[in-house]
Chain A
Amino acid sequence: MWRELAANKSRFASLFGIVLLGVMMLSGLLSVAPGMRRAGQTWYAQQNVFDIRVVSTLGLGQSDIDAIAAVEGVEAVMPVKSVDCEGSYRGGSTLAIRVQQLPVYPTLQEDANMNRLVLEEGRLPESAGECAVQVLDQGAAGSIRLGDVITFSSGADDLSTQTLTVVGFVTDPLYFSTETESTTAGNGALGLAAYVADGSLTMDYYTTCYIKAAGAGQYDNDSDEYQNAVQAVMDRLEAIADTQARQRRQDLIQQAQDQLDDARAEFEQQAADAEAQLADAQDQLDEAKAQLEAGEAEYQSGTARLEAQKAALPGNMASGADQLVAAQAQVLDFEAQLEQIKQLVTLKGVADPLLGYAEDILHNAETALEEAEPDDVNYVELRDILNRAQALYDSTYQQLADYQAQLDAGKQQMYAQGLISSPNLSNEELVAEAEAALRRMKLQVLEGQLALNTGNAEAFTAFDAAQAQLEAARQQLDEGWQQYQEGAAAFETQKAQAEAQLADARRQLADAEEQVDDIASGEWYVLDRNSVVSIVFFGQNADRIESIARVFPVFFFLVAALVASTTMTRMVEENRTQMGTFKALGYTDREITAKYLVYGTTAGLLGCIAGMLLGFFGVPSVIWWAYSTVFDLPTFRLRVYPLLAVLSVVISIGVVGLTTLAACRVSLREKPAALLLPRAPAAGKRIFLERVKPLWRRMSFSQKTTARNMFRYKKRFYMTVLGVAGCTALLLIGFGLQDSIVEIVSRQYGSIQKADLSISLSSDKALELEGGLTDTLAARDEVESWGAFYTRTVTVAEDAAGAGELSVTLVAAQEPQKLTEYFTLQNGGSPLTFTQGSVVLSEKTAELLGVEAGDTVWVQGTGASYLPLTLTGVTENYLGAYLYVTQETLEALVDSPAWNTVYAVTSCSSETQRQTLSTVLLGCNYVSSTAFTADSAAMYDSTIACINYVVLLIIVCAAALAAVVLYNLISVNIGERKKELATIKVLGFFDKEVYRYIFREIELLSVIGAAVGLAIGAPMHQFVIRTVESEQMMFIRSLEPTSFVYSVALTLLFTVAVCRMMRRQVRAISMVESMKAPE
């Protein structure tokens, strides 16, 4: 019996190998996903990860926490404060840091202490200013060490200290993947999580409330029971959500309103104060102005006076001088008068005697005349004399009277002038008095002259003084004016400032008021563990592995089982003579069957055990090793899954055992004698090919042999072809998985989505603000183009009732041409047109809905009902699901849509450039997040790298299976034909010719097998791929030509290699075999 085993060592080995590979694949791949899930579950349980968390856009007040705790099914609550801020350490670049406050006793083993940190190094923070950190982004924060001081640059207002010293390293059970945690701080990706002691965060509300759902802990994270238990509590929390949110809003509004009222009162007060102050200032200014104006007037009058005085002064002097001159002239006149008077007096004095004399003459003349006769010559003479004397007298008399009159007139005048004491003065007295008066007058004139001179000098001195005074007054006035102007200007400035401040304050108040009004939109989010990036990401990866494992190992196992069973069948058939002998010797059928059964099941069992060892330990180790670059979960354990183990053993032993049993029964049904006889050789048959005479005639003789041989032993043919085909198909699936998965990222982000940056806006005001996003985008050189879009998750369905509803991202562009610029819409390589009324759905979604272009889909936008849209096209898409519509359609679907996303094409090629741009963009108002496709591509890449390991493992195993199967098939083939080969050798065929004779056939079988393998592998690949795909992810369905080439090439390579190995065996065939009786 055991000799049998030894004799059939190679067969035993290949049987062992085939079962080993099959079981390894089955148990290995099937155990990875459960292993991952269990690791997750252990981790969640061990670190007491929350079941539900509630976050509110308004934060959570103590009353909210109390309300949550009071909800039925809430076992424990842990309110947590956290804040995302920016900071740096050791003078490095700024990174986004999430600061979270730990409970008072962070290590307490009780339900309410959730998400317990794992202390990796150092200690937990004990006082303010200390923190324990977890590095979330190795690139940004990998260099942080114990003792480093984190300095916050923004967002840390609620932190009691602006610096934190790193005292420990921890692992938050919620952050165990390399997946980036997003934030609105900094560049949008958390670099570091910092945990601070209780009391370090000063805000008066909680950010998150973590909740343990009653009874959920006893179930596995991925089980429906768990989900149901959690969902029940979530539903109850949802039920109070609105009320609480409303209450919280009321509280906040009240609080804000109070603050606002205070502020308003203060504002009013300040405004009044300011106004009063301004009024005072105005008054002062006005007063100053009045004073100045009075001064000005005074000055003006002073100047006028001075001018008048000045003007008057030369007048005085002139009149003084004139008076003087006049006095002088008077004096001179008087002197002249006096001289006249004196002459007159003199004249009179002279004339008086003359008069008397004249009178005497006259008298004499008259007497003489009277004495003289008129005829006397003398007479006439006498008369003439007399006449003349008379005249003389008369004239003298007249003259004298004139003189006297003149003197009297002078006397009168002088008296009138007060120059003489009396008008009746005698001429002599008159002269005397006049002379005295003249003297007096002259004296007066002299005095006047003197006075005039003295008066002039004094006046000018006075003028100068007055002038100086005036100038001083002017200067003062000017200064006064200047001060006044300055004062006025200052006043205006202050006034403007005050007004601006007031306006500002008023605006702030208005804003605050608006904010108070805005508080209206507060909302609660009741989330389960699926809101944690790491948990979701981990779950997705487990799912993906599971979906790959769901189909492939089964195929693999089936191929292995097929080969194993044929191996056993052939062995039994080959051994018919021996069985006959045993039977003839009296062994029972049961005993004989048992022998083969033991042989087969021993090989199978050993293979099974080895396969399970490798499968349960080797395969998960390799895959987990690949995943360890992405996940940091210490709870992953290699373990044996009893059900899987039993299943593997039962199936593999079952398959081998049953086929052995069946083969034995067929053989043993015959009589021992018949068994002892060689089985009638299968009759040679004409094959179809011979009918094709031209071809058949042209074939060489050995080609004919090969052709006939192949078709003669149908069973061998099918077995070989199927075995090889199976391996080729497995290889093709393996390579195909690689084709389908590896390329999707570059396809999606390379050729389908052209924009490499998406910016989420919290409001379309971002686009309108002066100096806001629009200007920033325009100013940044690295932004090549951008466009505003509307994106929203909507539901599409097959009918108005919402059958088969799926989530898709609705996309519409502000500028229609941007849509086709940023999203390549194509189907089967030909571009789709996108015009008025176009509605384009992504391929996977269309496929799931079973719709094509021209069909109607029902879309639920913001409204309650589904609206029908006629698809104009279905576009190639791999990651995510999209529905592209025009603006008109968008407006029909969504109630007043506002552009909420900006897609941009940038020239950023490095992480640093991207971070810089992100930081700048996040600094713009109303920008809530930025995402570079390079980052999401990197995320997918890391996942895909892991899947790639799985695929590589699959390829390697498929290759190993192919090698074993081919070895087995070829050795069986050769074993069966030993006699024929020996005969051929005896006939004098050279070794090479013998090889050709046998291997050509095998190689041809391999080629046929490989071809069949491709034919069945392609649809199997499709099947596997479609099974692996999720709603949001489509793989590349088409296989690369290289995959066909590789699978066939590998198969043929193995064939050739095994054939070469087998040459020795062929060479070793003894020609003596030919002498033996046919078996």
Chain B
Amino acid sequence: MEPFVSFTDVSKYYQTGSVRVAAADHMTFHVNKGEFCIIVGPSGAGKTTLLNMLGGMDRCDEGRIVLDGAQVSRFDEKELTAYRRYDVGFVFQFYNLVQNLTALENVELAIEICKNPLDPAQTLESVGLGQRLNNFPAQLSGGEQQRVAIARALAKNPKILLCDEPTGALDYKTGKSVLALLQNTCRATGRTVIVITHNSALTGMADRIVQVRSGQIISNEVNEHPVPVEEIEW
């Protein structure tokens, strides 16, 4: 069976003056459907580049990126947009909510353009914000905002959920609960979730751990015994 997500010899270069830097250097890895995958590595290792390419925000220079049988690396701009639109759900480090939309509306904003979205109110309820539907982001705490962001990503009913340092701007406790939410979502809906973090302590909760360093994949392991996030300490 072909893996749900696969990177094959994917490279990405940045030209700075006369120096060509490889942000992604022949990355090869795969993630299976329904897995909770954590991509871990230090700052500047190429995690974000990887996420950008996987999320259809950036294109690779070499190699092949496949998601659910579709060769993302061959998409043109328009196809990439459609890909982001229908197949990918994003959760940002800084939530990136539209400030003057309520929680509900922020979700609605995303699903407005989707084919078969989930009910926004229910989704918000499922992330524990049933009471705060009509609150503006400024009226919500960081964790709550991130929950709205997750709800926004989920409601699109994407094939894959990509989270960029989702706990980066949150305190320990809130971060934990957000991660729990993501893990539970993965478990409950069988959706593939990829979380990018520099915090290797989190790897314990993942089904698959991909380690990145200096633009290269240094390991791609399956964690046979993931533990619930509540049990992880960092």
Contact = CB atoms under 8 A, between A and B. Distances in A.
A980 B99 CA distance: 9
A683 B99 contact: yes
29 contacts: A681-B138, A683-B138, A683-B139, A684-B102, A684-B137, A702-B112, A705-B100, A708-B101, A712-B100, A986-B84, A986-B90, A987-B84, A987-B85, A987-B109, A987-B156, A988-B85, A988-B86, A988-B113, A988-B156, A989-B85, A989-B113, A990-B82, A990-B85, A991-B77, A993-B113, A1071-B57, A1072-B48, A1074-B92, A1076-B94
A988 B139 contact: no
Contact of A979 (B58, B88, B96, B110): B96
Contacts of B99: 681-684, 712
B204 interface: no
Given A987-B84, A1075-B93, 20 more contacts: A684-B137, A701-B112, A702-B109, A704-B105, A705-B98, A705-B101, A705-B105, A705-B109, A708-B100, A983-B96, A983-B98, A985-B81, A985-B84, A986-B55, A986-B90, A988-B88, A988-B113, A989-B85, A1072-B58, A1075-B48
A1077 interface: yes
A335 B14 CA distance: 203
Contacts of B92: 983, 986, 1074-1075
B138 A991 contact: no
B45 to A, nearest CB: 15
User: What are the nearest 3 A-B pairs in CB distance?
Assistant: A988-B85, A684-B136, A684-B100
B52 A1072 contact: yes
A983 B101 CA distance: 14
A983 B110 CA distance: 10
B196 to A, nearest CB: 10
Nearest to A712: B100
B78 interface: yes
A709 interface: yes
Contacts of A993: 113
Chain B interface size, as a band, is: 35 or more
A709 B84 CA distance: 24
Nearest to A708: B100
Contacts of B57: 985-986, 1071-1072
B164 A989 contact: no
Nearest to A707: B100
A83 B86 CA distance: 96
B108 interface: yes
Interface in A960-1011: 979-980, 983, 985-991, 993
A685 interface: yes
Interface in B70-124: 77-78, 81-86, 88, 90, 92-94, 96, 98-102, 105, 108-110, 112-113
A988 B81 contact: yes
Nearest to B153: A987
A314 to B, nearest CB: 160
B70 to A, nearest CB: 15
B122 to A, nearest CB: 18
B108 to A, nearest CB: 6
A1071 B51 CA distance: 12
A980 B100 CA distance: 11
A1077 B93 CA distance: 8
A1078 B96 CA distance: 9
Contacts of B82: 988, 990
B150 to A, nearest CB: 13
Interface of A: 680-685, 701-702, 704-705, 708-709, 712, 979-980, 983, 985-991, 993, 1071-1072, 1074-1078
B100 A685 contact: yes
Contacts of A987: 84-85, 90, 109-110, 113, 152, 156
Contacts of B88: 988
B169 to A, nearest CB: 8
**Most B Cβ at <10 Å: residue of A705, A985, A1078:** A705
Contact of B78 (A705, A980, A990, A1074): A990
Nearest to A987: B110
Contacts of A989: 81, 85, 113
A1072 to B, nearest CB: 7
Contacts of B93: 1075, 1077
Nearest to A709: B100
Contacts of B156: 987-988
Interface string B32-74: 0000000000000000100010010110000000000000000
Contacts of B90: 986-987
A678 to B, nearest CB: 9
**Most B Cβ at <10 Å: residue of A683, A987, A991:** A987
Contact of A701 (B83, B105, B136): B105
Interface string B133-169: 0001111000000000000100010000000100000
A1077 B113 CA distance: 26
A226 to B, nearest CB: 65
A988 B86 CA distance: 7
A990 B85 CA distance: 8
A556 B24 CA distance: 55
Contact of B96 (A683, A684, A988, A1074): A1074
Contacts of B52: 1071-1072
